[in-house]
Amino acid sequence: MRTKKITTTKTITRLKTLLVLVATVSILSGCATRTQYLTKQEAFPAMYDQKPLSILVVPAINDSTAADAGDIYASTIAPYLSYGGYYVLPIEITTAMLRADGIQDGHQLLDVPAEKLGAMFGADAVLFVNITEWDTNYRVFGGNVTVAIGFDLKSTKTGESLWSYKVRQVTNTSGDSNNGGLLGAIIVTAIKTATQDYMPIAKQVNSIAVSTLPLGSYHPFHNKDQLFKNVHPDLFGAAAKQ
Partner 1 sequence: MKNILLILLSTTLLAACATKPAPRVYWGNYSDSLYELKKEPSANTILTHKQELEEIISKSEAWNILPPPGISAELGKLYLEAGEKERAVQMIKQEALNYPESQTLVALLLRNMEEQNK
With contacts defined by CB under 8 A, name the span among 88-96, 143-151, 180-188, 231-239 that binds partner 1: 88-96
| Whole-angstrom distance, CA of residue 230 vs CA of residue 84 | 15
Q: Between 93 and 191, whose beta carbon lies closer to partner 1? A: 93
Q: List alpha helices for 67-214, DSSP H.
A: 69-83, 91-100, 114-121, 181-194, 198-210
How many other CB atoms sit within 10 Å of the CB of residue 190? 14
Please state, in angstroms and rounded to a whole number, the distance separating the CA atoms of residues 197 and 200. 7
Identified binder of partner 1 from the candidate list 15, 20, 23, 96, rule CB under 8 A: 96
Size of the site for partner 1 (CB under 8 A): 32
Residue 71 touches partner 1, criterion: CB under 8 A: yes
If one asks whether residue 107 binds partner 1 (CB under 8 A), the answer comes out as: no
Report the DSSP beta bridge partners of residue 229.
Answer: 39
- CB of 192 closer than 8 Å to CB of 200: no
All residues at 6 or more sequence positions from 143 whose CB lies less than 8 Å from its CB, including other chains: 136, 137, 173, 174, 189, 190, 192, 193
User: Does 113 help bind partner 1 (rule: CB under 8 A)?
Assistant: no
- Considering only residues 146 through 205, tell me which ones interact with partner 1, judged by CB under 8 A: 199, 203
CB of 198 to partner 1, least distance (A): 9
Asked if residue 215 binds partner 1 (CB under 8 A), the reply is no
Do the Cβ atoms of 125 and 162 come closer than 8 Å? yes
Instruction: Decide: is 116 part of the binding site for partner 1 (CB under 8 A).
Output: no
Site for partner 1 contains 86 (CB under 8 A): yes
Range in contact with partner 1 (rule: CB under 8 A) among 9-17, 40-48, 64-72, 224-232: 64-72
What is the contact surface with partner 1 in residues (CB under 8 A)? 53-54, 68, 71-72, 74-76, 78-79, 82-83, 86-94, 96-97, 120-122, 124, 199, 203, 218-220
